[in-house]
Structure 1
Amino acid sequence: MRVSDSDRERAARQLQRAFSEGRLDEVELEDRLELALTAKTYADLIGLVSDLPSDEPRADEVVELESASGTLKRSGDWAVPRRLRASSRFGSVKLDLSGAVIEHPVVEIELDLPFGSAWITLPEGATANVDGFRTDWGRVACDVPGRRRPEALYVVITGRATYGKLTVRYPRRRRSTH
């Protein structure tokens, strides 16, 4: 799978950190940085950083969900990975994180929806950054705060929907019947 600019930048930061810790010499840093910044695939990046410690998710720790035309749906008690890529050419993506197990303070979600839409439900108090998500003919509706807060889940959503929309919200409150 091809890497994004943010994947290349993440690998470059890891290499620079390894240099500052004395794990790489200057020549090795320069050689690896050049390869990292021109990498095309995850395999290219993994080979450059696999022998180095990292606090960030490795390129091979990405969970990918794909569908040609159906709905990709996750809800209830499910384990949310640090990085999630969801793509559906003609379908939709529905991710409900409100009842999920989330072990990471930051979750990155990348969406590829040429003709689909996405609905992401966050746990109460979580925040989301949708600045990296683009839509050509749809809309983005984010009903949760965008700034990161200490001790709260922070979700970064990137990607594109050509004709679809992105909706980010908290769970709907049930109305009382009294």
Structure 2
Amino acid sequence: MTSLPEDPSSPISENVRDTALRRLQEAYADGHISHEEMDEGLGRALGARTRGELVSILGLLPAKDEGTTSTIAAAGGRIRRRGTWRVPRKLTVTSAFGHVHLDLSRAVFEHSEVDIELQLGSGKARITVPRDAIVDVEELHTGWKDWRYRARRRSRGSGPRIRISGTMGFGRLKIRHARR
């Protein structure tokens, strides 16, 4: 869960409450708690006003699974992932000279947040994200070329949060939202 204020009597923000609600729903979906326990937890979390109240609700849940880390690497040539494939929580893509194409438009997201780390020497890279995805490229560092990304104007932002980070040398990265 996102960090809560240290003082148990501190008020909580709506973002922290939303994260707690999501944790309860994920625990139910994973079979860790019963339907009744989820209903009770959701009711208590919605009424919670302080850190202490949320900690007592979430204290019985199993530790949050941070997911898997996968690496796709190639010295040269193409790296391509498309169609229906499972996106790990953390994905590292390393390519010295090739082209990279990650199509996430039909991919299966098991985590609401995904980190993609790019380590690209030269060549082009293209990432297609779902229509409703939220994309963060703040931690991406480029050398000679740049990256292009234009956020959707009418996005509801209900999809996965995709953080793209890493280093690019001489290539260009293009990120776009799927059309359908």
Measured against the shorter chain, the TM-score band is 0.5 to 0.7
Counterpart position of 2:26: none
Unaligned segments of structure 1, at least 5 residues: 1-12, 18-52, 174-178
Per-residue deviation, 1:57: 2.0
Q: Deviations over 1:118-140 (max 9, x none)?
A: 21101111110011111111111
Distance in 1, Cα, partners of 2:142 & 2:152: 20
Counterpart position of 2:111: 104
The answer to whether the Cα contact below 8 Å between 2:70 and 2:91 also exists between their aligned partners in 1 is yes
Per-residue deviation, 1:70: 1.1
Counterpart position of 1:165: 172
User: Larger Cα Rg: Structure 1 or Structure 2?
Assistant: 2
Per-residue deviation, 1:144: 2.4
Picking from 128, 133, 138, the partner of 2:135 is 128
Picking from 51, 66, 70, the partner of 2:77 is 70
> Counterparts of 1:18-29 in structure 2 under 5 Å?
none
Distance in 1, Cα, partners of 2:84 & 2:113: 18
Per-residue deviation, 1:145: 4.9
Instruction: Give the TM-score, by structure 1 length.
Output: 0.61
Percent of residue pairs identical: 36
Counterpart position of 1:153: 160
Distance in 2, Cα, partners of 1:81 & 1:119: 18
Alignment partner of 1:57 is 2:97:
no
**Range 135-144 or range 154-163, more displaced:** 135-144
Unaligned segments of structure 2, at least 5 residues: 5-61
Per-residue deviation, 1:114: 1.1
The answer to whether the Cα contact below 8 Å between 1:127 and 1:152 also exists between their aligned partners in 2 is yes
Picking from 63, 83, 90, the partner of 2:97 is 90
Per-residue deviation, 1:142: 0.8
- Which AA in structure 1 matches 2:97? F
Picking from 97, 105, 124, the partner of 1:117 is 124
Counterpart position of 2:88: 81
Distance in 2, Cα, partners of 1:89 & 1:151: 34
Q: Deviations over 1:62-99 (max 9, x none)?
A: 10000000111100011111110000000121100001
- Which AA in structure 2 matches 1:55? K
Q: How many pairs were matched up?
A: 123
Distance in 2, Cα, partners of 1:113 & 1:149: 31
